[in-house]
Structure formats: C-alpha cells, structure tokens
Amino acid sequence: SKQITKPLLDLKQAVENDHQNLTELTHLPSEVGVLARAIDQKNHKLEQYLKREQLFTGDVSHELRTPLTIIMGASEVLASQLASDHYLSEFTERISTTAKETSEIISALLLLSRA
C-alpha cells in the first residue's frame, strides 16, 4: 500500500510546498504525473491572471492620481481666492475633502496591487 500511496503523498507534499517538487512529478507517466501536469498548468494560469490583475490595478491607480492631483491643486487655489466668501468656500472644501478621500482609496489600491 505504501508503494501505491507514495506518489500521491509526494504530489500532496509538492502542492503544499509551493510546487517546488511539482515539476519532478509532471514527468511521471502515471496518473500522478497527469494530475501533477494539470495542477502545474492551472497554477501557471493563476499566476498569469494575478500578474495581469496587479498590472491593471497599478496602471489604473496611476492614471487616476494625475487628474486627482490637478483637482486638489485647483481646489486649493480656488479656496485661497474665495476665502472671504463662506458660501463658496464650503464648495471648495467639499471638493478638496472628496479629492483627498479618493486619493487615499487610490493609494490603498496601489498598495494592494503591490502586495
């Protein structure tokens, strides 16, 4: 029974150990080799998917930061020019606050894409 279960246990251990020994098992002609190849192919597809997702999230975050920085700068200039008008100052403060909150969300997105 050990002879039958050993290849399966090796496959289990290879999958648990981040597939370091999985490539050795993909060359086996047995059912374990078939399973190892299927797992290896699925892992490769998942890695590619994660890389694409990280690149997309990073690109989107960077593309959103530029216009947001412009909005924040413009709201600061507008706030300094409208300091005497309390009614309009409320609007510039709302613009500034929303831009800062959005910037924090984008920063969190960037951190997630790097993780």
Per-residue pLDDT of 39-86, as tens digits, reads 878 888 988 998 888 888 778 877 888 888 899 999 999 988 888 888
Place of tokens 């706030």: 79
Mean pLDDT of the residues in the chain: 82
CATH of the domain at 91: 1.10.287.130
C-alpha 36/C-alpha 30 separation (Å) is 10
Q: What pTM, to 2 d.p., does this model score?
A: 0.56
Instruction: Return the structure tokens found at 81.
Output: 């020019």
Q: How many domains are contained in the chain?
A: 1
Place of tokens 């100052």: 89
Q: 68, 9, 59: which is closest to 35 by C-alpha? A: 9
Q: Mean of the pLDDT values across residues 78-106?
A: 89
Domain ranges, residue 60: 2-114
